[in-house]
Structure 1
Amino acid sequence: ALRLAGAFPGQACKEDDDALLAFMDLVILEHDFSTGILFWQNAYKLWLSEYAKAADVEFHKQLKVIIEKFNALYEHDKSVKVTYQPGPTKTYEQMRSKEVELGGVTHEDYKGRTVASKILDVIRGSITVSSPAAVAALLHDFFRPLDGTSG
């Protein structure tokens, strides 16, 4: 999973032997992975940070499509305008700091190893709307109905 998420940057890991060598480098050279306890406390966080990098471009591309469709739908109403600005992905170090705030990080069980899964902004961007009506329309028309139903 680490290899598929690109957790070994700068190393071509298409072959098993290359992936094994990259993994050995990780556990030997990186303090956060130097013991079994540290490895299991940090492996999910490393995977998540690399997965976020891999998904980042497509995520922003899809949001831009939604914003373009919204603006086209409401082009007749100049008071309704939405813009989108991609943001940086959350880094491994930022996730580590957030885990400290969340608490409960441990190597002992799945819940403790995956505290980083509670971090909901690993891929980030900013949607700016021109008015409260614009945000209501965007949420209702493109993300979820605002009538209390799920969808």
Structure 2
Amino acid sequence: MDALRAIGVVARALDSISNIEFRDLDLTRGQYLYLVRIVEQPGIIQEQLVNQLKVDRATVARSVAKLCQQGLVVKQPDPNNAKASLLFPTAAGKKAYAPIHRENQYSLKRALDGMTEDEVATLTRLLNQMTQNIDEDWQLVKSGGKRHY
């Protein structure tokens, strides 16, 4: 199996597990990803979520609106940018984050099981390089450009 397929299998499996395990938090598919970023980076703006998660603006807007409706996140005006809102977790959002964070730590430990510290460091370095490489194409395509195969 090539690297991209293996990464896809791991990502889909963990996403599926999380969607099942977080049902009791009443978080729909993938919303926990947004909540985690907002809790870990209070004051983040939606455009930063777009870039960090590599999703379109409409998807982020819908997910953030749902999190606000559920009382997990609040928007506050950005004093430096009238078009942007700063996103902050509520007490309920922070409480919902705790089991998500525990699951993430468990999944990471499970995924890295049997690897040495050096192997984990190498894997992390290589995945960060892949992310950086793909980000260039994502930015290009997102802004209307075409990749040349």
TM over 0.5: no
Max Rg structure: 1
- Higher relative contact order at CA 8 Å, sep ≥6: structure 1 or structure 2? 1
| TM-score for the superposition, normalised by structure 2 | 0.26
Question: Per residue, is there more helix in 1 or in 2?
Answer: 2
| TM-score for the superposition, normalised by structure 1 | 0.26
